[in-house]
Structure 1
Amino acid sequence: MAELNSRKDVPNDIEGNYADSKEQVYLEETFYILSKKNAVFRVRLTSKGLSLSKETDGNSKEQTILLRDIIGSKCMRSKRRRPGAGSCVCSSLVSHQLKVVDENSGDLDENDVSAYLYVYAYILKQNRRASKRERTTITLRFRSFDKYEDNNKEAQKWRTTIKCLIAGQSVSHMPPVAEKKLLILLNPKSGPGKARELFQTKVAPILQEAEVPYDLHVTKYANYAREFVRTRNVYAWRGIVAVGGDGVLFEVINGMFERLDWQQALAEVPLAALPCGSGNGLARSICHLYNEPYIPQNLTGMSMALARGKAAAMDVVRIETKSNIMFSFLSVGWGLLSDIDIESERLRAIGGQRFTVWAIARLLSLRKYKGVVSYCKIKDISNIPKPKQPLLLSHSVSHDGALDSPDAEAFIDCDENTDVFTTVNGKRHQRVDSWYSVNSRRSAFFSTRGSEYHSVTSSTSEMRSPTHACMHGPAPRLPALVSQLPSHWVHLEGEFVMVHIAYQSFIGEDFLFAPRAQLSDGIIWMLIIKAGISRSQLFSFLLSITSGGHADIETEYIKMVPVSAFRIVPEGTSGTLTVDGEQVEYGPIQGEIFPDIVNLLVPDIQ
């Protein structure tokens, strides 16, 4: 029969319920363990996952590796042993020193006819304090037959079934058709500047195990990602991944809205964010909503979401200023929090701690801003009607017409030197372990078969961008920025410490701004803090925002309001306005929410 061996022993102290009658069993096999007498594993592959039942001397303990925790599998062969090594495979199995190589490797042990199936999983472990994902590799050794080809056929049957189940496709004898690549847009300067290293060490290995190919492009300048998605055939990719802070995704989203086919592109090509910046508000919100552990600089859960390919809808807010229109996915800020966000850029090297340091500085020298804050309040957030999306929409135009599309688009080259590094079928190959060389000025990335790395320097490219870009998207329902607002709107005039508006639960890794916010609920949460509040009150408020305790606080100075649209008209010319953490021109600004516009790759619900 076959033998089961795991790099990490399957826990002996975990008891579980055997697969219930509603589960569909696809494959079942018994694997013997030579290192323990009278011990066997009965392994079943079901619609729920990989069920492992360990039987030793009449005692039985069970565990199920859930399908949503399995990332991929691979068939391997044993590696040729060096002179002086153990004389039989059994000895290496007992000592956990089994060496395997790819099926096509030239360094095969022809004497071992076994086929090895490696199943890669990242199991969610929970304890009282926190939860995390733990990597586990289950190795199934098939050796029922005298020929490797027959054993490999059995192993491939399991591998194909696992691939079909992970992909959500009907189980067949043929593996799922190879999908398109992911497009990875990485900002190497996000946050403390560790995006390259984090991608190489945390993300690339998971994508390799999941056999998800990708094209990786490193951004060269501001709005590189925006130009890229605006001008390329985005349908060639299965999804677009922004690696860095929230600013990279802001570029991607607005680049998509600058396409004439924005509606189709956003419907067919999901987006994703891998948090390698300082804020990482959207990624933190996604993990919060999907019960996925969020550990700074640990991208396991979000990387699994890229491989699984499940998408959920997200609202966006159309923002209008005097001369620009943009689409926001996170927040709009005026006053204290925006000052902290922008002014702390000089401390970017210390990561997210820069916000805390600068918050103290701003509290000591508290500023006040005069202006008018207006909003359309949502009276009943429990049963909010979602606005209907028009089927045919023209591009958005600002009140002064400055954003009208040119009659003809002229094109210029904006990326003329691109070297492509590929792991297969390419003229220039990099060593498999070159992804460890993160300090290399021009290092390639370890990638899945068919994946490509486009370096910071370039030699060839198809990228061409229009000289003039115009913003498209859903047509506005609000009056023009200089026009009068409807009579039912609420207007507040005076001095403010800050006004911050968000549509996600978190606006930073440690800022639970709107605990009740969902990715798509049609609600904008507007926090208004008026001047006159004491520093001690403000300090207590900022402490409570880390846990969301501020959401139920309402005083004469603090108000949290659910709205569907807003307008801010500051007085003077000195101040800071931000959209998704990016500074925009200071002056009148307004926004309205459009539900279900963008699709995001999200984790499986736990």
Structure 2
Amino acid sequence: MTMAEDDPFKDPALGTTETPQPPEPSTNVPDTLAVGRNASLTLGQDSLVVLDEALLDNNGGCCGISSLYSKNKTTRSIPFFNILWAEQSEDGEITIQYAHAVSKQVVRPAIISYTLDKTDNRTTHLWIEKLLDRAYGASKREKRVKVLINPFGGQGGAVKIYHKHIAPIFAAARCELDVEKTTHNGHAVEIAQGLDVDAYDVIACCSGDGIPHEVWNGLGKRHDAARALVKTAIAQLPCGSGNGMSLNFNGTDSPSLAALAVVKGLRTPLDLTSITQGDQRTLSFMSQSVGLVAECDLATENLRWMGSARFTWGTLTRVLRKTIYPADIAIKVEYSDKEAIRQVYRTEAGKPPRSHDDREIPAADAGLPPLQHGTINDPLPSSWELVPHDKLGNFYAGNMAYMSPDANFFPASLPNDGCIDVVRVRGDLKRHTAIATLLAVAENKFFEQPTVDYQKVTAYRFIPKNQADGYISIDGERVPFEPFQVEVHRGLGTVLSKTGHIYEAKGV
């Protein structure tokens, strides 16, 4: 699907020629633009203020714009974050498109327009540029987006969700769209492996977390893997059963709100990890789990009809049985003290939003980085100690905070600190203690639990034992039940986020 087919605001006769970059706005451009005898548009501190006496005849609302002052219904405001586009026609009409909140979970494109009494093209043009500069900041306008839709994910509604909630936001923001549906397992790997990464700014996955996993591994198979992974940002638009990536970077599992977040997203470095198992090397962007969390996800696939309740059911049955998952584990630890981990997180969280991505683009022949600690088939590094965990109940490693809307397992995680956060919980806890530990996740008190061993690490090896078979999950995908080794690559991948450096989650 081409941009001309998908964007109702673009004249098809114009083709796909890149829009010339507008001139820098003058510092002397006034914040207020008169748009009629009794109306004006003003650039406020964090919103566009619309002053129009005609709003009094519209029951206190214009196009769904929120009231700025309850006693003065001639004044309304639109947050700059919600401004999608603005332009002036040849006959002097100024049109502003924005994402209007129709509920807490849904935004839709809306328009305000005025015909200027006196056409001052230069002043108006510069004012519009100033508005768009406030609206987008360091985020790239008119993003070139490769959209991948997985029509089989979740409950199979991704195509409908895209056209109803996502495409209208992208079109109003003048994004250049190239839409493709995945047709089989591994298709996104093939697409990413052959993609012209110079033609796109973003690969937006309308899916669960499975398609981003495929995309990163497709990029990782290229001869120019390092360049492709840095150059092209990956985004997830929630259309599946697992939408952890969108929760972490977009701050929502609402498709329309996520689309708005991607339109305004800042390029953000993301740590990726290499998983070696047997003779295979796989990239992971989210998590690896063995034990309770892995079984509650993978072993309840037959209970999808229960919705999210299947995870609760799976958890309770295993906690009540006091199931254990014995293993030998070796870890290269960077931070093992919770207070030190808390300080690392707070130092990064206290920084302002990033103004730009300062990484250099790797050379065209740069592949994946070499492994610093070898593979699972190599001898254990001499500085690592293999420690028995005969009563292990849960091993969970992740470099994103949220795994689901109510599961903030890794509140101290950061996108680009060069570490993966590891959680270990014993499986022989008293039942009420084990249940209290799990309930603490939803209350954002998991980190503080004395039963939770929480560390930041740069590499580890996991060797299951005393079990013929079981479940190992990599980014929610089942892999063979055999030993594996993990190594972190700092800033190897790229995503879009609201801040450029932290997740949209409550930290420690």
What TM-score range do you get, normalising by the shorter chain? 0.7 to 0.9
SS at match of 1:549: coil
Q: What are structure 2's unaligned runs of at least 5 residues?
A: 1-25, 57-70, 349-358
Larger radius of gyration: 1
Counterpart of 2:50 in structure 1 is: 52
The residue correspondences of 1:397-436 to structure 2 (distance < 5 A) are none
Give the aligned residue type for 1:139.
I
Q: How much has 1:47 moved relative to structure 2?
A: 8.7
Equivalent of 2:396, from 480, 500, 516? Answer: 500
* Distance change in 2, residues 1:115/1:604 (3 Å): farther
Counterpart of 2:459 in structure 1 is: 565
Once the two structures are superposed, residues 409-468 of structure 1 have per-residue CA deviations (whole angstroms, 9 ceiling, x without a partner) of xxxxxxxxxxxxxxxxxxxxxxxxxxxxxxxxxxxxxxxxxxxxxxxxxxxxxxxxxxxx
Counterpart of 1:139 in structure 2 is: 112
Equivalent of 1:344, from 300, 319, 329? Answer: 300
Once the two structures are superposed, residues 255-296 of structure 1 have per-residue CA deviations (whole angstroms, 9 ceiling, x without a partner) of 111001011112221111112222211211124xxxx4x2x4
* Matches of 2:499 and 2:111, distance apart in 1: 21
* Distance change in 2, residues 1:154/1:180 (3 Å): same
Counterpart of 1:527 in structure 2 is: 423
Contact 1:25 1:47 (C-alpha < 8 Å) held by counterparts: no
Q: How much has 1:517 moved relative to structure 2?
A: 1.2
* Matches of 2:401 and 2:123, distance apart in 1: 47
* Distance change in 2, residues 1:23/1:163 (3 Å): closer
Contact 1:122 1:133 (C-alpha < 8 Å) held by counterparts: no
Counterpart of 2:492 in structure 1 is: 597
Q: How much has 1:191 moved relative to structure 2?
A: 1.6
Counterpart of 1:243 in structure 2 is: 206
* Matches of 1:521 and 1:238, distance apart in 2: 24
Q: State TM-score, norm by structure 1.
A: 0.65
The residue correspondences of 1:66-215 to structure 2 (distance < 5 A) are 66-73=79-86, 116-122=93-99, 137=110, 139-144=112-117, 162-163=131-132, 166=135, 181-215=144-178
* Matches of 1:29 and 1:390, distance apart in 2: 41
Contact 1:118 1:138 (C-alpha < 8 Å) held by counterparts: yes
* Distance change in 2, residues 1:491/1:329 (3 Å): same
* Matches of 1:74 and 1:368, distance apart in 2: 62
* Distance change in 2, residues 1:383/1:75 (3 Å): closer
* Distance change in 2, residues 1:197/1:60 (3 Å): closer
* Matches of 1:303 and 1:230, distance apart in 2: 25
* Matches of 1:310 and 1:134, distance apart in 2: 20
Contact 1:256 1:265 (C-alpha < 8 Å) held by counterparts: yes
* Matches of 2:369 and 2:463, distance apart in 1: 23
* Matches of 2:83 and 2:275, distance apart in 1: 40
- What RMSD, in angstroms, separates the aligned Cα atoms of the two structures? 3.9
Q: How much has 1:315 moved relative to structure 2?
A: 0.8
Q: How much has 1:487 moved relative to structure 2?
A: 3.0
Per residue, is there more helix in 1 or in 2?
2
SS at match of 2:438: helix
Counterpart of 2:66 in structure 1 is: none
Q: What are structure 1's unaligned runs of at least 5 residues?
A: 1-21, 34-39, 77-102, 104-113, 171-175, 396-471
Q: How much has 1:363 moved relative to structure 2?
A: 3.2
Counterpart of 1:299 in structure 2 is: 255
Counterpart of 1:43 in structure 2 is: 41
Counterpart of 1:6 in structure 2 is: none
* Matches of 2:313 and 2:183, distance apart in 1: 29
Q: Is 1:29 matched up with 2:27?
A: no
SS at match of 1:285: helix
Contact 2:247 2:402 (C-alpha < 8 Å) held by counterparts: yes
Q: How much has 1:536 moved relative to structure 2?
A: 2.3
**Aligned length in residues:** 443
Give the aligned residue type for 1:117.
I
Q: How much has 1:505 moved relative to structure 2?
A: 0.7
* Matches of 1:393 and 1:494, distance apart in 2: 47
Counterpart of 2:330 in structure 1 is: 374
* Matches of 1:569 and 1:344, distance apart in 2: 24
* Matches of 1:535 and 1:23, distance apart in 2: 65
SS at match of 1:117: strand
Counterpart of 2:432 in structure 1 is: 536
Give the aligned residue type for 2:154.
G
Contact 2:227 2:361 (C-alpha < 8 Å) held by counterparts: no
Give the aligned residue type for 2:292.
L
Contact 1:371 1:569 (C-alpha < 8 Å) held by counterparts: yes
* Distance change in 2, residues 1:498/1:167 (3 Å): closer
Give the aligned residue type for 2:277.
T
Q: How much has 1:204 moved relative to structure 2?
A: 0.7
Q: Is 1:311 matched up with 2:267?
A: yes
* Matches of 2:306 and 2:207, distance apart in 1: 15
* Matches of 2:389 and 2:46, distance apart in 1: 57
SS at match of 1:315: strand
Counterpart of 1:554 in structure 2 is: 450
Q: How much has 1:350 moved relative to structure 2?
A: 4.9
Equivalent of 1:330, from 286, 299, 317? Answer: 286
Q: State TM-score, norm by structure 2.
A: 0.76
Q: How much has 1:327 moved relative to structure 2?
A: 1.0
Contact 1:377 1:489 (C-alpha < 8 Å) held by counterparts: no
User: What percentage of aligned pairs have identical amino acids?
Assistant: 22
Q: How much has 1:31 moved relative to structure 2?
A: 3.9
